[in-house]
């Protein structure tokens, strides 16, 4: 049981490049979400999904795109990377949007945009 797997762990992009951060979970969780964590800002929600084919925006969605074609996978796409998107990105999943068991987080992707 691997939990939530994020790839890559580290990435350096040039301004304007695009890329996809991968997130996969093997717990059959319906709810998945993406957060970014910046120093002094805490975790902020980017996008989330309550099931395959259903996605919605969080607090800071601009510059990011998501889709959910399967229960297991929830990739995050950066359309045209900007230095302001330098951050640590976490994917999380859960049986529901809150729940008694909380969220299971991946180990994160550290992204630097130069």
Partner 1 sequence: EDQVTQSPEALRLQEGESSSLNCSYTVSGLRGLFWYRQDPGKGPEFLFTLYSAGEEKEKERLKATLTKKESFLHITAPKPEDSATYLCAVQVAGTALIFGKGTTLSVSS
> Can you list the alpha helix ranges (DSSP code H) found in 45-101?
none
Using alpha carbons, list the distances in angstroms from residue 36 to 58, 71, 75, 82. Answer: 11, 22, 14, 14
Interface stretch with partner 1, choices 20-28, 60-68, 76-84, 97-105 (CB under 8 A) = 97-105
- Please state whether beta strands 19-25 and 31-38 pair in parallel, antiparallel, or not at all (unpaired): unpaired
Rounded CA separation 34/91 (Å): 5
Shortest distance in whole angstroms from residue 108 CB to partner 1? 5
Determine, following the binding rule CB under 8 A, whether residue 107 of this chain makes contact with partner 1: yes
- In the range 13-72, which residues lie near partner 1 by CB under 8 A? 33, 35, 40-45, 48, 58
Shortest distance in whole angstroms from residue 47 CB to partner 1? 10
**Binding residues for partner 1, per CB under 8 A?**
4, 33, 35, 40-45, 48, 58, 90, 92, 97-108
């Amino acid at each position: 049981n691997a939990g939530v797997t994020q790839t890559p762990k580290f990435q350096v992009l040039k301004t304007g490049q695009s890329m996809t951060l991968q997130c996969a979970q093997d717990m059959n969780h319906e709810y998945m979400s993406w957060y970014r964590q910046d120093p002094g800002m805490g975790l902020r929600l980017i996008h989330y999904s309550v099931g395959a084919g259903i996605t919605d925006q969080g607090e800071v969605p601009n510059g990011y795109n998501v889709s959910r074609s399967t229960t297991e996978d929830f990739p995050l796409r950066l359309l045209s990377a900007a230095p302001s998107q330098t951050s640590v990105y976490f994917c999380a999943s859960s049986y529901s949007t809150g729940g008694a068991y909380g969220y299971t987080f991946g180990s994160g992707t550290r992204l630097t945009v130069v």
